[in-house]
Chain A
Amino acid sequence: MIEGVSLFEILSLTTILFFIGVYGFLTRTNLIAMLMSLELMVNAEAVNFVAINKYLSPAILQGQVFSLFIIALAAAETALALAIILHLYRLTENIDVKEVKQLKY
């Protein structure tokens, strides 16, 4: 709990953060940039978990544990996504999703 900051303010922050991520994900066509937007969304959630845990039920620690999980998962997911992107680049010399659309009907 941070003195002088209410839960509402923190949640507003994370919501803004999350939608910045969504916006980035939908508008960017560079895969690296899309991955970064995804990370933003994930981090907003992690903050949410910690804040709600701390403010609403400080006696238990599930929310914080979850945020640790999320950080670990995000790291793994980034590694995987970067590997895919790298491979895609080798195949097509391109990481722009507008150009890479072979997988369709």
Chain B
Amino acid sequence: MNTFDYIYLVPLIPLLMFLFLGFTAKRIKEPISGYLGTAGLLAVFILSYYTAYRYFFVDGIVDGKFQQIRVMVKEGWIHFTDKLAIDIGIIIDPISVMMLVVVSTVSLMVHIYSLGYMHKDTGFSRFYAYLSLFTFSMLGLVLASNLFLIYIFWELVGVSSYLLIGFYFEKPSAVSASKKAFIVTRFADMFFLIGILMVGYFGQSFDFMTLNSDSTISMINSWIQNHQIFSFLGLSIFTYALIFVFIGGMGKSAMFPLHIWLPDAMEGPTPVSALIHAATMVVAGVYLVARLFPLYYHIEGGAALRFVAIVGTFSALFAAIIALTQEDIKRVLAFSTMSQIGYMMMALGVSGFDEHEGLGYMAGMFHLFTHAMFKALLFLVAGAVIHAVHSNFMDKMGGLHKHMPISSWTFLIAALAISGIPPFAGFFSKDEILTAAFEYNKVIWFVGFLVAGMTAFYMFRLYFRIFHHKNTEYEHPPHEAPWNMSFALIFLAVMTMAVGFISFSEYVSADLKPFHSHIHWGDPLVIGSILIALTGIGAAYLMYYKQTEYPAKVASGFGKVYHWTKNKFYMDELYLFVTHKIIFDKISKPIAWFDRNVIDGFMNLLGVTTENLSERIKFIQSGRLQDYAMYFVSGVVAIVMIIIYFR
């Protein structure tokens, strides 16, 4: 298979763009660097769509099954043993091609949008350089053919996320947010690395195709059978390896309890939030689980997968509850992202493997795809609104519909999509997830069902409060976004309406075999999920379309619970307590004391002793030549005498 040999160009173009823009950031001024970055991304966009076309419609399918194609860039890059060697390779299969489309589409739109959004910003060229770096790392992550390579790009996206969150580095809040994001994800990545090493050791390979093959899975399973002693709490060590890998994904995908960095990450420029913290980087965890899905599903009867399902479901509910009460529009969107990613994890967790059983896997990937479109759109509209109003808070907004019609309509489309109203994209994917969850476990289904209603409510709370609600008096009358920003909004809105009609199951499935799935319109499940979404929207309409008394009443009705959710269940405070009061005070300080007094004390003792000793014998260094000659001669005489005596 040599038809995809050009594929290495896809990550290479943004890399070269990053190097070029990075080195010339001081010299190339405003519009040109943006146009250059956008042109590079356009090339990537075209290549990605061409690849998708070639893969899905021409070359990909052989004997009714999608092929996994590996394009080697360098074989045996790092060589440990014959089996444990790390190659630089590119894997092409349905999910990586799908991710290519997602990343290049959203990234291109963000590049175009930023031409308007970052206009007259002093760091304009730097911004485009960072965007290129991020796009390179994300494409590399998507295409990486083995665990080690994915880890390298995993860290690279972490770094570019750090750089972009801290883009306005004059602001202390941005600096601390970027540090927080980096440290929390690094903490998770430590587990990821341990997991990779364990998987590599027991699976005898880092390569995805080898690891996911039937022979490797049966080898591991029989190893587990024969070595029951290597287990803890009834789960074998390999399941823990998979859970460790998943913890890495939890860090990047902001799953509970490692989600605390995501709301703070909203300090970055809004296009960055749209690209990194809504559409692409944060779904890396979902992508990772999907990449290793055969392992997760088959090893020990899917024990690790159950963990994924539980974490995903809980995070979805947890984040949705918090999103209900937030006042900062970007934070609402951040928690909404976390909730939707929880949905995707839940979908993967409840999935089976063969044919129709793999509905959850396909639905999770489908939701990833549709979510990337509408959530990027939501963030970009939020950016346009913030650009116009110069505030993040809903209190300062209201009645913007007549000032910014394009933003308002596109936001409405995206909000309908995320709420799950047909015929918008979110409905189809969300409905598939709920169907899969219903077959797996009623409790998980019910939580998902509840979250769907809450999602509809908080999204429309946001919509009404930004665009209707009240007629705020603005100092500078807000105006519609410039053409380049509006173009991105309209393009993504069209995508949001269109992508739901792709029959996804014919392209992406757990066992790579296409199958048919379609919506049963009369099914109570479908009707139920539409109804709960409508209920959520209706409640939001009643409470927020006009200024009413209801929100305050409901808030006081919930009493303490309202304050808990408003303060995000005090998770940040809990982390501060654990780190400052317990880790810093009880562990770090004694260690610091030990270091300062015992370790340093020993070293100082050595130093002082040497100094005292040399103080006593320094007279030898008298500066008189004859003395030195005398020492020398007497030394020679002594040596000669010793030799003669002992001979």
Is the CB of B441 closer than 8 A to any CB of chain A?
no
* Segment at the interface with A among B136-144, B285-293, B617-625: B617-625
Contacting pair A26 B624 (CB below 8 A): no
Q: A22: which B residues are within 8 A, CB to CB?
A: 633
Residue from the list B623, B626, B633 in contact with A104, Cβ < 8 A? B623
Contacting pair B623 A26 (CB below 8 A): no
* Segment at the interface with B among A8-16, A65-73, A94-102: A94-102
Q: How far is the CA of A101 from the CA of B628 in the complex (A)?
A: 12
Is the CB of A29 closer than 8 A to any CB of chain B?
yes
Q: A5: which B residues are within 8 A, CB to CB?
A: none
Contacting pair B621 A104 (CB below 8 A): yes
In the complex, residue of chain B having the shortest beta-carbon distance to the beta carbon of A103: B623
In the complex, residue of chain B having the shortest beta-carbon distance to the beta carbon of A31: B625
Residue from the list B618, B623, B630, B633 in contact with A102, Cβ < 8 A? B623
Query: How many Cβ-Cβ contacts under 8 Å join chain A to chain B?
Result: 27
Q: How far is the CA of A27 from the CA of B559 in the complex (A)?
A: 102
Contacting pair A97 B618 (CB below 8 A): no
Q: B626: which A residues are within 8 A, CB to CB?
A: 26, 29, 97-98
Q: B621: which A residues are within 8 A, CB to CB?
A: 104-105
Q: A103: which B residues are within 8 A, CB to CB?
A: 623
Q: Min CB distance, B574 to chain A, in Å? A: 61
Residue from the list A25, A34, A101, A105 in contact with B624, Cβ < 8 A? A101
Q: A102: which B residues are within 8 A, CB to CB?
A: 623
Contacting pair A101 B629 (CB below 8 A): no
Please, what's the 1-or-0 string for A7-43, where 1 marks a CB less than 8 Å from any CB in chain B? 0000000000000001001100100001000000000
Q: Min CB distance, B610 to chain A, in Å? A: 15
In the complex, residue of chain A having the shortest beta-carbon distance to the beta carbon of B615: A105
In the complex, residue of chain B having the shortest beta-carbon distance to the beta carbon of A27: B626
- Interface residues of A, CB < 8 Å — how many? 13
Contacting pair B624 A97 (CB below 8 A): yes
Q: A101: which B residues are within 8 A, CB to CB?
A: 622-624
Q: B622: which A residues are within 8 A, CB to CB?
A: 101, 104
Q: How far is the CA of A105 from the CA of B616 in the complex (A)?
A: 12
Q: Min CB distance, B303 to chain A, in Å? A: 73
Q: Min CB distance, B193 to chain A, in Å? A: 53
Contacting pair A26 B618 (CB below 8 A): no
Q: Min CB distance, B614 to chain A, in Å? A: 9
Q: B619: which A residues are within 8 A, CB to CB?
A: 105
Q: Min CB distance, A42 to chain B, in Å? A: 15
Q: A26: which B residues are within 8 A, CB to CB?
A: 626, 629-630, 633
Q: Min CB distance, B131 to chain A, in Å? A: 62
Q: How far is the CA of A25 from the CA of B631 in the complex (A)?
A: 13
Q: Min CB distance, B587 to chain A, in Å? A: 47
Q: How far is the CA of A101 from the CA of B619 in the complex (A)?
A: 13
Contacting pair B623 A25 (CB below 8 A): no
Q: How far is the CA of A7 from the CA of B625 in the complex (A)?
A: 35
Q: Min CB distance, A25 to chain B, in Å? A: 6
Q: Min CB distance, B492 to chain A, in Å? A: 78
Q: Min CB distance, A102 to chain B, in Å? A: 6
Q: A97: which B residues are within 8 A, CB to CB?
A: 624-626
Q: How far is the CA of A98 from the CA of B625 in the complex (A)?
A: 8
List residues of B (591-640) whose CB comes within 8 Å of A's CBs: 618-619, 621-626, 629-630, 633
Q: How far is the CA of A102 from the CA of B622 in the complex (A)?
A: 9
Q: B618: which A residues are within 8 A, CB to CB?
A: 105
Q: How far is the CA of A16 from the CA of B218 in the complex (A)?
A: 91
Q: Min CB distance, B299 to chain A, in Å? A: 71
Q: How far is the CA of A104 from the CA of B618 in the complex (A)?
A: 9
Contacting pair B624 A98 (CB below 8 A): yes
Q: A25: which B residues are within 8 A, CB to CB?
A: 629
Please, what's the 1-or-0 string for A72-105, where 1 marks a CB less than 8 Å from any CB in chain B? 0000000000000000000000000110111111
Q: B630: which A residues are within 8 A, CB to CB?
A: 26
Q: How far is the CA of A74 from the CA of B453 in the complex (A)?
A: 101
Q: Min CB distance, A62 to chain B, in Å? A: 24
Q: B633: which A residues are within 8 A, CB to CB?
A: 22, 26
Q: How far is the CA of A30 from the CA of B530 in the complex (A)?
A: 110
Q: How far is the CA of A26 from the CA of B633 in the complex (A)?
A: 9
- Interface hub of A22, A29, A98, A105 (most chain B Cβ within 10 A): A105
Q: A100: which B residues are within 8 A, CB to CB?
A: 625
Q: Min CB distance, A32 to chain B, in Å? A: 13
Q: Min CB distance, A5 to chain B, in Å? A: 26
Q: How far is the CA of A102 from the CA of B629 in the complex (A)?
A: 17
Q: How far is the CA of A105 from the CA of B626 in the complex (A)?
A: 16
Q: B625: which A residues are within 8 A, CB to CB?
A: 34, 97, 100
Q: How far is the CA of A26 from the CA of B623 in the complex (A)?
A: 15
Excluding A26-B626, A104-B624, 10 further A-B contacts by CB distance (< 8 Å) are A22-B633, A26-B633, A29-B626, A97-B624, A100-B625, A101-B624, A103-B623, A104-B621, A104-B623, A105-B623
* Pairs of residues from A and B, 7 with the lowest C-beta to C-beta distance, nearest first: A104-B623, A101-B623, A97-B625, A105-B618, A105-B621, A103-B623, A101-B624
Can you spell out 24 A-B residue pairs with CB atoms less than 8 angstroms apart? A22-B633, A25-B629, A26-B626, A26-B629, A26-B630, A26-B633, A29-B626, A34-B625, A97-B624, A97-B625, A97-B626, A98-B624, A98-B626, A100-B625, A101-B622, A101-B623, A103-B623, A104-B621, A104-B622, A104-B623, A105-B618, A105-B619, A105-B621, A105-B623
Listed in ascending order, the chain A residues whose CB lies under 8 Å from chain B are: 22, 25-26, 29, 34, 97-98, 100-105
